[in-house]
Structure formats: structure tokens, C-alpha cells
Amino acid sequence: MTSRRDFLEKIAVSTIGLPFLSFANTACAEAEGPVADGKVLRVAIMGLGGYGTRVAEAMQSCTRAKLTGVISGTPSKIKDWQSKYNIPEKNCYNYENFDNIKNNPDIDAVYIITPNGLHKEQTIRVANAGKHVICEKPMANNARDGQEMVNACKAANVKLLIGYRIHFEPKTLEIVRMRMDGEFGKVKFFQGLSGFTIGDPKQWRLNKELAGGGALMDIGIYAINGSRYMIGEEPIWVTAQETKTDPAKFKDGVDETIQFQLGFPSGAVASCLSTYAMNNLDRFFLTAEKGYALLYPSTGYGPIEGETHKGKLMHPHKTHQTVQMDEMAAIIFDDKKPVVPVDGQEGVKDMKIIDAIYEATRSGKSVDIRM
């Protein structure tokens, strides 16, 4: 069995030790927009686990984002991060006192990287503290909670962004550009396979309360989100079929494997697989009137590999989270509009589809999701 991190790293080539590649990518990002210039986003990370650590590392290469604070329930972790990232005591919080962040001028935004079921309350508290929120995906346990988060951030006049790092990935964006420019003609079919074999059965990702579900929330969401940015439409119907081979590991409400299908207004269709019980599936395929696009791997942390009918995509890899945080600084401070949205409403769209997929697995019927 593979742990989640093992899987996502298996296909990752760290950019550490590849300074030239990294430099080339920075130049590339600069060429596309004024990301390197402008106000630096000072970020506190809430949740110092595996992914929080990855984001912190990636931010060290950012030009417009900087880690300035931490929020954690584990004092020893805070200590480690303080020394590693030179974070002063006054920028450290726990889950009881982090509302006080409102009085901290060193922190512009909080990146919430905690179990899904905690996102809503935490987002609302951060918003009420007057700080921008970056929230890891899935944004919440369901669309209703997600919408509450959007509303709270709007009311507090702060921005809410969801951690969709792939929305800034250059090969992905090239395919989106080609689609927008009509180079595929009419899009016909998208296939998204997203899954891996999950390890430790005691982790929060297999806890219904904390995760909000199972594989679909964590990894299947990539195929959902991918179907939307690859096809460029919002789905109008959903069907889904759940299969559970290990009910001891995957308890009630925690999905192991779900196949789901989406229909789009143009007649394009998507066929997707979400699973915690198969080895390393990470593949997007789009076929269209005039050609095709393939991303494989499509969403892992490492270099995304892609090709279209026009040839192999050669855009250099840069650590996704580095690009994401620089771009999010520009979105927050300069109102930059990303090609593929990363705002709270984008998160709610995915959550509505997730809700519909779960409904379809229960009812066995097609669910109308015209938004």
C-alpha cells in the first residue's frame, strides 16, 4: 500500500537541485505577467502537516509570498517551524487563540491546510479576523458549507481563494488556451482518472466527520475540477456508481471507488474514476473534433506531462505551490484574474458536483445540476 504522500511524490521530481530549471521557470512566469513585482503576501499557515510543510517549502522560492506565521495545536511543531522559517513568537497561534490574528500587522492571509470538516469554521473565523483566506481543496464537506464560507468572506470584505494549484500549471493552461482559441474544435469527451491506494486506515482522510467523505473529496475532486476546465463548460447532469470492496477500511459515508459521468450543455460528456483502492491513477484525456489533449500525470505534485494533436507540451516545470502562491498574491493585491478561477465560488461549483455525485450513488439516478 502507498501512503498519500508517497503516491503524490512518486511522480514528483523536486526542483531542489535544479536551479537552472527553476531559474528558467521564474523567467517564464515573469514574462507572462508582473507576478515578481508588487506587494508581498505575508501568509500564516494553519495546519502544519505534510501538505502544510510542502507549501512552506515551496513558498521559500516565492517572489511575492512569504511565510510569516503559523497556527497549530502542536507546540513542538510550532517550535520546529519557528526555527526553520524564522517566525517570531508573536506570529504563532493555536486553534483557541487564532482570532487574535486580527491585531497582527505581519499577516495578510491565512492558508488553511486542515481536515476538510474544519474548513468552514476556520474560514469564517479568519474572515472575521479581517484576513484573506486561502483554503485547501475540497473547500468544505458540502456545497452549503462552502457557500457559507463565500458569504462570510464577502461580508468581511476579504478574499477567499481555494488551493487549486493546477489552475496555474503551464501545460494545463496551454490546453485551456488552445480550447478557448478553438484549436480543438468542438470538445466531445473528457476522461479523468484520479486515484491511489490509501495507506493508514486511521488517518483523518478516512474519517467521515473530518473528511466529509472518502476518495471523491480528496482525489476524485481533481477529475471533477479537471472536467470543468478541460471542457470549458459547467455540467448539467451527473450519474455515479459506487463500489466498496473493503468496508472495514472504508466505513459508511467514506467512499472507496466511485465512477461518475457528467453531461455538458454542448453534448460533451465526461467519464471519471475516483478511487482510494487502485495504484496511481492520474490521467486526463480530452478528445475533440479537431484533436486531443492528454495530461499524464495530470495533477500530481511533480512535472505534469502533456501532449496534444499538435505535439508534446514542453513547458518547463516549476513547483506548483510556488507558482500558486505568487499568483495568489497578485490575485489578492492586484485583482489579477486567473484564466481558470480559484475563488470561493469556483470551490462551491466543485462541491455542488460532489454533492450530486453522492446523491446519484445513493439514488442510482441521474441528478440534474444545472447551475
Q: Is 137 a catalytic residue?
A: yes
Q: What is the C-alpha separation between 294 and 130, in angstroms, rounded?
A: 42
Grid coordinates of 158: 476579504
Query: Binding marks (x or -) toward a second copy, 288..317, rule CB under 8 A?
Result: -x--x-------------------------
Give the footprint of a second copy on residues 236-275 (CB under 8 A).
239, 241, 243-245, 257, 259, 261, 263, 266-267, 269, 271, 273, 275
Identify the CA nearest to 142 among candidates 351, 367, 368.
351
For a second copy, the binding residue among 11, 40, 236, 278 (CB under 8 A) is: 278
Q: Is 351 in the site for a second copy (CB under 8 A)?
A: no
Q: How far is the CB of 296 from a second copy (least distance, A)?
A: 11
Q: How far is the CB of 293 from a second copy (least distance, A)?
A: 13
Give the footprint of a second copy on residues 200-219 (CB under 8 A).
none
Q: What is the C-alpha separation between 338 and 330, in angstroms, rounded?
A: 9
Grid coordinates of 344: 470561493
Q: Which is nearer to a second copy, 266 or 345 (CB)?
A: 266
Q: How far is the CB of 104 from a second copy (least distance, A)?
A: 48
CA dihedral sign, ordered 175, 177, 179, 184: negative
Q: Is 193 in the site for a second copy (CB under 8 A)?
A: yes
Give the footprint of a second copy on residues 67-106 (CB under 8 A).
none
Which residues have C-beta within 8 Å of that of residue 285, sequence separation ≥ 6?
Answer: 189, 190, 191, 292, 293, 294, 295, 296
Q: What is the C-alpha separation between 55 and 51, in angstroms, rounded?
A: 6
Q: How far is the CB of 235 from a second copy (least distance, A)?
A: 12
For a second copy, the binding residue among 40, 60, 287, 336 (CB under 8 A) is: 287
Grid coordinates of 327: 499568483
Q: Which is nearer to a second copy, 99 or 289 (CB)?
A: 289
Grid coordinates of 88: 517570531
Catalytic residue among 120, 131, 137, 318: 137
Which residues have C-beta within 8 Å of that of residue 287, sequence separation ≥ 6?
Answer: 187, 188, 189
Q: What is the C-alpha separation between 310 and 168, in angstroms, rounded?
A: 21
CB–CB of 192/217 below 8 Å? no
Catalytic annotation, residues: 137, 222
Instruction: Provide the binding-site residues for a second copy, judged by CB under 8 A.
Output: 188-189, 191, 193, 239, 241, 243-245, 257, 259, 261, 263, 266-267, 269, 271, 273, 275, 277-279, 281, 287, 289, 292, 364-366
